[in-house]
Amino acid sequence: MWRKLFTSVPAFRALKAPCRSFKSSSRGAEKDFFKDLDTQLRAFRDKAAAAMPGSDWSPIELTPGLPPERADVVIVGGGVVGWSIAYWLKMKARVRDGLRVLVVEKDPTYSQASTVLSCGGIRQQFSLKENILLSLFSAHFMKNINNHLWVVNEDPVDLQFNHSGYLFLASEKSAHIMEENYRTQRYVGAKVVLLSPSQLKERFPWMNTEGVALASLGLENEGWFTPAKLCSLISYIVPISSRFVYVVHCPDGPGLDTPFLIDYSGVYCRREGLGGNYITGMSPEETEEPDISNLDVDHEFFQEKVWHRLAHRIPAFEQLKVSSAWAGFYDYNTFDQNGIIGLHPLVPNMYFATGFSGHGLQQSPAVGLAVAELILDGGYKTIDLSAFDLKRILLQEPIQESNIV
């Protein structure tokens, strides 16, 4: 900067000419030394000029980008659950830097993370009251996400939350389970309604209601969102199994009010975007778990298992075309398919929040708050999740969710 000041003065240019001839004189080594010194000094001056008061440039350049040596809480895994726990820990530490939290994630591109590869659905139609409460809280969180995560000067966060609801279909044998679940859900506060086959046909004329005894539809706080948008908010820094999701295109398919349809045979389907695309898939049977070593999609699975069931339920899907597919990991809790949250029985300062078996994304904000309360407040405050503690596995008392997918 100083140099620029000087060279702009015309008189100095006259001075420079004799310097140039001096430079071309013999002594080679000295000339190099001075030139090096000069470049170094200039670099130093530029840096110093850039370091206005308030910048944190220091002449002692410590290696940048290293993780901190110490942290108060280390979260292993930076997916949506880990990120949510980190967020709530920081929120509860009311003072900035009150708690040093470190999130450790193996794959910074999240290419294989369940978070990104999930369908992004959120529903309250569970049978366990804790699951319903978790999803309700998460739905409120996502609806009001701009209160929580909006940074001033940036665009408001848009999760593309489609509130179309989930539609569960039950056959004759499972109708009574659905009724019981409906009672639990209404008691806890989810807005669900039961539909008979004729009401179904009225509401969704494109559906084939053969074999359906009862259906339950979520009216509010249910739907799906784009997990990748949630993922991009992640700023820093169990036995698994995989599921296949297929994107199909059908021009005459169900319209805009299509809910996230879950048939009693296990196949599910939802609308994706506005161009007649749908996302569909099916949970494979226990005996035919797909290979988890890679994320290659099994198209045979679609042809043999999924398509005919889908077409049976929605006749328009007989003419569809698979446009793409992907596979994602399911953090599957083989014991009772519900999350495990709580303290480790032997290690005194280790907490778990894992095994959500397909519900991790939709329950993540609430689970994050619950774990943050466990760590900082010594117990659950907002939602009591002591039913999900690890000791149910030690005592062999599963808490089953009926009607799961």
Per the structure block, which two tokens stand in for 395?
């005592």
Of residues 72 and 172, the one with the C-beta less far from another protein: 72
Shortest distance, position 87 Cβ to another protein, whole Å:
16
Count of residues engaged in binding another protein, rule: CB under 8 A = 20
Of residues 20 and 70, the one with the C-beta less far from another protein: 70
Contact 2, 45 (CB under 8 A): yes
Query: Per-residue x/- marks for another protein, 249-278, CB under 8 A?
Result: ------------------------------
Distance between CA atoms of residues 243 and 71, nearest Å: 35
- Angstrom CA distances, 30 to 24, 36, 365, stand at 12, 10, 66
Of residues 72 and 397, the one with the C-beta less far from another protein: 72
**Interactions with another protein, residue window 351-370 (CB under 8 A):** 351
What DSSP state is assigned to residue 156?
Answer: P
- Does 387 engage in binding with another protein (CB under 8 A)? no
Of residues 220 and 389, the one with the C-beta less far from another protein: 389
Contact 136, 124 (CB under 8 A): yes
Distance between CA atoms of residues 263 and 164, nearest Å: 16
Q: Hey, which residues does 77 pair with through a beta bridge? A: none
- Does 61 engage in binding with another protein (CB under 8 A)? no
- Does 377 engage in binding with another protein (CB under 8 A)? yes
Distance between CA atoms of residues 206 and 193, nearest Å: 20
What DSSP state is assigned to residue 157?
Answer: P
**Interactions with another protein, residue window 67-86 (CB under 8 A):** 69-70, 72
Shortest distance, position 321 Cβ to another protein, whole Å:
53
Distance between CA atoms of residues 27 and 45, nearest Å: 27
Shortest distance, position 140 Cβ to another protein, whole Å:
25
Residues near another protein (CB under 8 A): 69-70, 72, 93, 95, 97-100, 343, 348-351, 374-379
